[in-house]
Structure 1
Amino acid sequence: MLSREKVNAQMAVTEAKIRKLEDELVTERRTLGHLRLLFIFGKLPTELMVEIFMLAISSTPAWPRVLKHILSLSQVCALWREIVVGSPKIWAQSVVEVCLDYKQRSVSSKDYLETIFHRSAPHSISVSFICGNKDAPTVHPKINTDAIARAISNSAPRWKSLTVGGNYPGWATVDAPLLNLQTLKITAGSLPPTLPSCPNLRRLTIADTGVNGSSTVDLTPIPLANLTHIDLESFDLASLLSILRQCEKVVTASLATKLYTWSQVDVNMLYDGPVTVLSSLTHLKLKFSRGEPQWKLIGPFFAPLALPSLRTLRLSFNRSAGIPWPVEAFTTFQMRAPQLSDLCLSGTWITAAQLIGVLRLAPALTSLSLICCPECVKDAFFLALTEGPTSARQLVPQLTFLYLRDVRSEFGNDKLDAAIRSRGWSEECQALNRNRLQQVRILDCFSKTRITVLEAKLTDLIWQGFKLVFV
């Protein structure tokens, strides 16, 4: 007969085995539940599984990682591999990078690219040619760039977006018409001498091209009249204006001039032809590069333009001292752009009186940004904004946002406070249902002491919802 101690010991061992078996049972039941989930997932319609796969890989925009995720999905089981390999929509989801620079990233092989383009057919695809350093591309000596270009040229009619970065050596061999291309971006390198035909192009970007800002590219194959978005850099102003006037359907335009001297500028070229009406243009950004006498150019640029639908205008100068504001030319332009609601001036020496004149011709203005404009933000500016509620014509009555950055703070806190309160916050204005100036953002203008004082003066408005932001 066993002693009590031995019986207790055997019971403890048996109970431990039972607990272990119970834990294994719980684990097996969980595993069975996962298997049932996989079984149900595997029975979903193929179209739904493709959409689920696309959601799984859409969080990684970089093509190498997207490709890795696609291949990982194809290795889960035979069913998933069949779906992934046989679903062109998955392979066409991200930008296909054609990389020839072995110092930058993994090089694209001919077979690798042919596989991707074959599996993505017949869907439209986005392609990016990458060649590293824009001045001295480090192409591997064993890479046959012409062979790679020919290998993928059959897919050219399916390209919906094309980016050419660097002096891509195989560009000239891609001569097939790009019938489906809607977006073309050429950046970081010299422009190709010719462009392929792309009759359905809608977005054109040419940026950071050439050491000296060369812009001798032939845009004849580009249907300028069909473009809706243009972003051009390193062009002379006459060329920019000529291109813009041909873009009859353009909605947004971002233009930046190249570096050049005054001897290279023919102002008379900018005045040629009648006034051009661009009825669809709503956003225009114009940036003048350093080293040029831009004050002589802004007037000639705007003189032949009528933009009846323009909402946003951003003008950026290089802040050279003594540049006069082209009052007459810009006034004429404003009369042809009555819907302007967002104005940003940067690096200009416009005076307070001239700025007030601009604002009087912009009754629809809701947003005003002044950056590095040292001569306009003065007491006179805020006094003009403080026109009383009974004034016959209040200055920019729709203004809701004011942004001041790096401007001389040659104005008193009381003037700013009065201007803010008069913009819909006083009892008289509220009775007349005037629009409120909802937010003022100030950057690099005030000392900490002045910020504290101004915040204290406007505490009551801040409690009512006014936003005063110091960055």
Structure 2
Amino acid sequence: MHWPNSHIFYDILAQTASPGFAIHAQSQLEEAEQQLTQMTAQTDPLCQASQQLVARIAALKYAVSPIRKLPADILLEIFSRVEDGHDWSRFHHLSTNAHFRHVFRLASVCSYWRQLLLTAPRMWPTTVALQTSGFISFPQHFDVVNTLLQRSNPYLLNITVDGLRRDVGTYLHSLVISIAMNVAHRWRSLRMEFDFVPFLRHAQTPGPLIHLTEISLHGMDWNETDQPSAFFLDAPKLTRVLLRTSNTTKLLLPWSQLTKLHLEGVESPGFLAVLEQCISVVNLHLVGYICDEDAIATSALSATVSLVYLTHLQLSVTEDHCTFDPLFRHFTFPSLINLNLNPADALADDLLEFEIGDFFPSFLARCSALRNLTILSSNMNETALDDILRNIPSLTSLTLSACFNCVDDAFFERLTYRATDLVPPAPCLQRLHLESVTDRYSQDVVLAMVRSRWWTDDTLLPTPRVARWERIYICGCFPPEVVLSDAFRAAMAELCSEGLVFEVKERR
């Protein structure tokens, strides 16, 4: 601390090591408090003598307080629980963020606390976001960041480099990158929110990144002449990757060990060859479309490639009427549970249309564990949807949204169960969600479909070949307007009273 009477505080603290101090300190404290009470009543409480007594009382209280007897590890645990609306493990922008205000205050109490905090790595940042904004005129702040990172050693780090500003010089950019690179051996996760390719062109391989488990690389724009980079290849614990790139094959990664992959830029040539290497992937999100070159390359292949651990797959198109059909033709995912097809920007006013492709139904037939299928904004017709229904024997939940050309009476009739059906379509289906579909169906056909797959717990029926409905939701979007008949509303209410969640939205 740096106030006029700080010497009094430190003098008292220096006496705490003397024998018998604790015995006399309490009486000294009581005497000082009495003196302060008398002096305050007689003189100005802000006078120098009063302030000296205040400093003496504060030092004595601290000297005899129980916290002085706590072991260092307990004291640090208390320090770590001091909150200011922030997580102390996070450090963002030094010039504007007060994440460490309390750390600095605690370090100012006494030399013991200061030394304790300075030598306690867990009190210092392990999640760091670096950017040039805020440091344009003060590059010396980077020295402070380096110091704080050194104090957190040997703890592993989560590093984010924000989008670097184009209006600042390369000097500051190099400072930002050098800070991140200086602690590469401690990376646990790395997020680069800018084009990292110019750096990779000249970077040396950092050696084994033995702690790195996750990377997120944005906007990687490769030239045709760029050589593939092995910067992240030697990362034995790397399992989670988000990659936005103009060329998937330019960045060499340990594809075979990845379990979660979000890949944007799959339209680059050679993508399918990369995907074949992802033999351990469990969760996969692909954004783009399969380019013609990959389609030609896979057309000559007779055997399909199986990714046996994949359970969650999301495919998002970035161009209108684009397809992932080569993927559907070339791959099989026997453990796939959840499949979502949608435009990349699902919140856009004008949705792109997903092209299902000719091989999608046969692809579904190979996904024998599939439980949940969601298709958003597809231009498929009634025939394509009928083919899908014939190839989803394990599906329990089907969601169609903004699919304007496929839902009609034939769709509901196809899902209507008849005891004579030897192989009923979608026999395990329990949840049906139709939203923003055209109103090309009759209420009687819908009701017949619902009743054919519904029974109460106490109803005695021959063993059905289909599952019982759990939830049905239907909402159209275009004229003709839907006005539910009284009979339909009454039937819907009766089914709901029996336990079915059943809702059809009216449009007036």
Contact 1:166 1:188 in 2 (8 A): yes
Among residues 327, 336, 340, which one is paired with 1:314 in the alignment?
340
Contact 1:99 1:107 in 2 (8 A): no
Cα offset, 1:216, TM superposition: 6.3
Give runs of aligned pairs for residues 117-128 of structure 1, distance below 5 A.
117-128=149-160
Q: Deviations over 1:88-113 (max 9, x none)?
A: 234355x3101113499998932122
Q: Which residue of 2 aligns with 1:418?
A: 448
Judging changes above 3 Å, is the alpha-carbon distance between structure 1 residues 268 and 164 closer, same or farther for their aligned structure 2 residues? same
Judging changes above 3 Å, is the alpha-carbon distance between structure 1 residues 449 and 147 closer, same or farther for their aligned structure 2 residues? closer
Q: Which residue of 2 aligns with 1:362?
A: 392
Decide which moves more: 223-232 or 406-415. Answer: 406-415
Aligned-pair Cα RMSD in Å: 4.0
Give runs of aligned pairs for residues 5-44 of structure 1, distance below 5 A.
none
Cα offset, 1:268, TM superposition: 1.3
Contact 1:131 1:138 in 2 (8 A): no
Q: Which residue of 1 aligns with 2:425?
A: 395
Among residues 257, 260, 266, which one is paired with 1:226 in the alignment?
257
Contact 1:150 1:173 in 2 (8 A): no
Q: Which residue of 1 aligns with 2:376?
A: 346
Q: Which residue of 2 aligns with 1:4?
A: none
Q: Which residue of 1 aligns with 2:105?
A: 75
Q: Which residue of 1 aligns with 2:240?
A: 203
CA distance in 2, matches of 1:165, 1:180: 21
Cα offset, 1:164, TM superposition: 0.6
Among residues 460, 466, 469, which one is paired with 2:494 in the alignment?
460
Residue identity in the other structure for 2:310: L
CA distance in 1, matches of 2:91, 2:427: 49
Gaps of 5+ in 1: 1-34
Contact 1:99 1:129 in 2 (8 A): yes
Give runs of aligned pairs for residues 228-267 of structure 1, distance below 5 A.
228-236=259-267, 238-257=269-288, 265=293, 267=295
TM-score (norm 1): 0.74
TM-score (norm 2): 0.69
Residue identity in the other structure for 2:243: I
Give secondary structure in 2 for the equivalent of 1:332.
helix
Give secondary structure in 1 for the equivalent of 2:336.
coil
Judging changes above 3 Å, is the alpha-carbon distance between structure 1 residues 430 and 276 closer, same or farther for their aligned structure 2 residues? farther
Cα offset, 1:185, TM superposition: 0.8
Give secondary structure in 2 for the equivalent of 1:75.
helix
Contact 1:389 1:428 in 2 (8 A): no
Decide which moves more: 66-75 or 348-357. Answer: 66-75
> What is the number of equivalent residue pairs in this alignment?
419
CA distance in 2, matches of 1:337, 1:81: 60
Judging changes above 3 Å, is the alpha-carbon distance between structure 1 residues 427 and 148 closer, same or farther for their aligned structure 2 residues? closer
Higher gyration radius (CA)? 2
Q: Which residue of 1 aligns with 2:247?
A: 215
CA distance in 1, matches of 2:404, 2:503: 20
Cα offset, 1:389, TM superposition: 5.6
Cα offset, 1:325, TM superposition: 5.1
Give runs of aligned pairs for residues 109-124 of structure 1, distance below 5 A.
109-124=141-156
Q: Which residue of 1 aligns with 2:402?
A: 372
Judging changes above 3 Å, is the alpha-carbon distance between structure 1 residues 344 and 240 closer, same or farther for their aligned structure 2 residues? farther
Among residues 186, 205, 224, which one is paired with 2:217 in the alignment?
186
Q: Deviations over 1:124-180 (max 9, x none)?
A: 1110111346xxx232x4953334433442310110111111236766557423332
Decide which moves more: 223-232 or 98-107. Answer: 98-107
Contact 2:248 2:271 in 1 (8 A): no
CA distance in 1, matches of 2:147, 2:392: 56
Gaps of 5+ in 2: 1-60, 345-350
Residue identity in the other structure for 1:231: H
Tell me if 1:284 matches 2:287. Answer: no
Judging changes above 3 Å, is the alpha-carbon distance between structure 1 residues 179 and 324 closer, same or farther for their aligned structure 2 residues? closer
Residue identity in the other structure for 2:212: L
Identity between Structure 1 and Structure 2 (%): 24
Q: Which residue of 2 aligns with 1:302?
A: 328
Contact 1:259 1:290 in 2 (8 A): no
